[in-house]
Structure 1
């Protein structure tokens, strides 16, 4: 069984202007995962199987954020556009009372979903994520203006060629523990190899602006469904105060900490995260 097979059977879904590849494992109440920039569904390879084995249906899409393999040249890849893709994914599969589990940039997109199209969402789990004024976090804030410069995205992608640099900085301080080489390749090679994927990445990065997350934050108090904030106190990009700030504006949120992890909790502490997600879903199951 390959790493990808752990996530279940592979399907493709036409969402009108975008074809999305996703994997489907398990039966029961649906859980949809939302990864961030320059990762794909493999981010959840150690989380989704455990949740599926606990009695849930886990759907793990590759969202068009630079590590996907199907170009989407006609899709709206602004943050609201990608949030709308998530909503269309839920609609196309007729998923209701969904638990959305998100990380990093995917958390920002999920906050947009929570404030614009929440009808199919039953509960949300946010791990360290872009929020409020941090979209993107300071270390990566130059990516958006760089993407607006001709050739800028190529420069950024080339900088990620240096595996020794990624190892030395623990994948740019996103993971505390080593990420296997084949997973790094799955994240970074699609945009390096394909001009079309690189252009998708460019369009998203060029449109990133914290006005989206700041506007979402103003509307989050209206989202009264259960939210779990599974935060990593050691993370440098999305500090614990950011999780606490989210907990302060969400009316039905609980904050739990995950030790020995940076931003990519699904990479660093998948067992702890899986346990928290299953416990949360069972506590807030629809009767």
Structure 2
């Protein structure tokens, strides 16, 4: 995977490049930074959570997936970096700028990072897609979010909590990671996602910094700015989501002037795992009609 150095440190990212047959050479008039689809993973997930969506879309779009410092990143950030939700959103904006990506279709799942750019640094966003993520007053979300918040305030609490992800049964419990998906999550994915947190104290430091510095007010203030977003927006929510209730998604869509709300059937929070086909169909239709 390529990497890029940002203000807070170096992050990895997946880039499929332009689809085969696309004219991108000198003199073609094409713009290699225009119209990409950027998929943003959530808290504790890397690019693999988007794998099936990436494979589906790459035939027609340039797809990029930045691994932001949210726990599944392999490279710790610099000590003292702003890793609050707003700080991580600023890194996402910097990523778009450094790669000169424009008129991007920005797609977020789980952590509500993308919405924090609206009214702050959204000039490179052509379309916004929010799928089952923190929003409005739903922070920390569900029992999982409240547990993380509580343990982050206890010395050594995050390290102890993370030990449960070593075991298939504990990770698969409904009040843990298992509750975020409709079907059991393959444990090899769990091991992949949480290996950096389990093995690198500096990555745990970054993760804890996010949890300790992010507040409900962050998302409520972001909601106040959504009415300023004058471009197409799609809110696609897991119909069976327990952690991010569909009612939150409906309220979110109502705040966006050009927002449209859809529910993805047979899916909870991790829509890219539960029903990637339905999500891709919605994304393709949204892009084609806007």
Q: TM-score, normalised by structure 1?
A: 0.91
The question of 1:13 aligning with 2:19 is answered no
The question of 1:131 aligning with 2:135 is answered yes
* Aligned equivalent of 1:182: 188
Give the SS at the match of 1:154: helix
CA RMSD of aligned residues (A): 1.4
1:146 alignment partner, one of 142, 151, 156: 151
Residue 233 of structure 1 deviates from its aligned partner by: 1.7
Instruction: Supply the distance in 2 between the matched residues of 1:145 and 1:18 (Cα, whole angstroms).
Output: 27
Q: How many residues align?
A: 272
Instruction: Supply the distance in 2 between the matched residues of 1:138 and 1:173 (Cα, whole angstroms).
Output: 10
* Aligned equivalent of 1:99: 105
Aligned partners of 1:20 and 1:63 also within 8 Å: yes
Runs of 4+, deviation exceeding 3 Å: none
Structure 1 unmatched runs, 5+: 1-9
The question of 1:232 aligning with 2:238 is answered yes
Residue 26 of structure 1 deviates from its aligned partner by: 3.7
Instruction: Specify whether residues 188 and 127 from structure 1 end up closer, same or farther in structure 2 by C-alpha distance, changes over 3 A only.
Output: same
Aligned partners of 2:165 and 2:191 also within 8 Å: no
Aligned partners of 2:234 and 2:286 also within 8 Å: yes
Residue 168 of structure 1 deviates from its aligned partner by: 4.1
Aligned partners of 2:107 and 2:128 also within 8 Å: yes
Structure 2 unmatched runs, 5+: 20-34
* Aligned equivalent of 2:78: 73
Residue 181 of structure 1 deviates from its aligned partner by: 2.0
* Aligned equivalent of 2:51: 45
Instruction: Specify whether residues 114 and 93 from structure 1 end up closer, same or farther in structure 2 by C-alpha distance, changes over 3 A only.
Output: same
Instruction: Supply the distance in 1 between the matched residues of 2:58 and 2:213 (Cα, whole angstroms).
Output: 34
Alpha-carbon displacement from aligned partner over 1:36-78 (angstroms, at most 9, x marks no partner): 111111110000121111x211001111111111111333101
Residue 165 of structure 1 deviates from its aligned partner by: 2.1
Instruction: Supply the distance in 2 between the matched residues of 1:101 and 1:114 (Cα, whole angstroms).
Output: 13
Aligned partners of 2:4 and 2:12 also within 8 Å: yes
